[in-house]
Amino acid sequence: MSTVLQLKNVTKAFGEMRALDGIDLALPGDAYISLLGPSGSGKTTLLRVIAGFEDPDGGSILFNGKRIDTVAPHQRGIGFVFQNFALFPHLSVAQNIAFGLENREVDAVTDRRAVEGLVKDIIALVGLSGLEGRAVTQISGGQRQRVALARTLVTEPRMVLLDEPLGALDANLRARMRTELRAIRERCGVTFLHVTGSETEALAMGDTVLVLDSGRIAQSADSDTIYNRPASPAVARFLNCYNLFPGRLEGGAFVGSAGRFSLGNRPATRATQPAYAIRYDRVAVRPREAAIGENEVRVEGNFVASEYSGAAVNSFFTLDDGRVFEVETHLSHAAPETYVDQGRYALVWKREDALVYA
């Protein structure tokens, strides 16, 4: 698959803060790329630098093999969908979509029939047929999202940047729009770079997931690899599904304030700081006196509370070092357990399910 966008050692600072700290990445054509990271990690800055709304301090950006660092945003062939949609409230659905075609500086389309034909086609593509004459104030949030996307796609960009495009929608609509955005992208055959702070959204949508940490790409991989084998403690933390322990490796064990965890033959992943991670859904809750197997690890904790989320229950325990430890139980596996408030329990997992960073 050919590379559509390449960044080489791209940097951007705002005063003393390095928003982008040597970004290197290559994005393929005809793919859905998710960009995940916490607030302040540089996600939106990276998108704005690619789009041309911000100038990088250093490095180079190549689009279709040509440098675009100094090319004006409207001449890059890259579309941008804003988080708040940025639609014109006084224009209809069709007029909003046509605006970019009719008013762009390069190759503006002035023939009314040509505009109407292009707008009709793109409206059908994004599923808005029948709403052409509606004001954008009279349609739903999901429909406004599609209008914003159609306005970008009608100009036939080779790549579309989406800045948290589902952030303004309610939970049910977000879930539906995930599927619709992927289907629209596949029909268009262009690359989408979708920025989000939601790990669920990033993993569900991206053919490739990029994780941004303090202005650097911490990991680039498919969703399964990111979820099951995060490359660093920081990536594991962003995923919000791992219990993380600081500590050190010592004599075939990981030692920290929560205790000594035997590693067996478990290999360690290189990282800037040692850490031990176990995913919430890999932990079993047992009576305190229950025996453990030879290949198992345990800590003890006091039950605090449970949260029911429909498909699963998340239970919270405090360990002796004050750390909160989380256990996720999927209800398809078993009926939810009832724990005694402040009751003492053994929290047990298999050695091979842990991730060790050294």
Q: How many residues does the chain have?
A: 358
Tell me: do 41 and 158 sit in the same domain.
yes
Number of domains in the chain: 2
Query: Is residue 210 located within the same domain as residue 252?
Result: no
SS3 assignment, position 104: coil
pLDDT confidence tier of residue 290, bands split at 50, 70 and 90? very high
List, for residues 145-180, the tens digit of each pLDDT value.
Answer: 888 888 888 888 889 999 888 776 777 777 888 888
Residues 36, 85: Cα–Cα separation, whole Å:
20
Please report, for the domain that includes residue 307, its CATH number: 2.40.50.140
The answer to the question of residue 238 being in a domain is no
Of 93-97, 133-137, 332-336, 339-343, where does mean pLDDT reach its minimum?
A: 332-336
- Decide if 76 is inside a domain: yes
Q: Does residue 265 belong to any structural domain of this protein?
A: yes
Per the domain annotation, does 81 fall within a domain? yes
Share of the chain above pLDDT 90, in %: 55
Mean of pLDDT values over 284-301:
94
Sequence-ordered list of residues with C-beta below 8 angstroms from that of 33, at least 6 positions apart, any chain: 27, 191, 192, 193, 194, 206, 207, 208, 209, 210
Asked if 250 and 160 sit in the same domain, the reply is no
- Per-residue confidence (pLDDT) for residue 106, from 0 to 100: 65
**With bands split at pLDDT 50, 70 and 90, how would you rate the model's confidence at 64?**
very high
Examine the domain organization and report whether 224 and 248 are in the same domain.
no
Q: pLDDT tens for residues 93-126?
A: 998 888 878 777 667 777 788 888 888 888 888 8
Distances (CA, A) of 66 to 7, 22, 159, 196, 310: 11, 20, 14, 28, 49
256 and 193 share one domain: no
> Residues 216-264: pLDDT tens digits?
999 999 999 999 999 999 999 999 999 999 999 988 899 999 999 999 7
Quick one: pLDDT at residue 5? 95
- Please state, in angstroms and rounded to a whole number, the distance separating the CA atoms of residues 229 and 261: 19
Domain containing residue 222: 3-228
Do 268 and 141 lie in a common domain? no
Position 125 scores a pLDDT of 86
> Is residue 340 over pLDDT 90?
yes
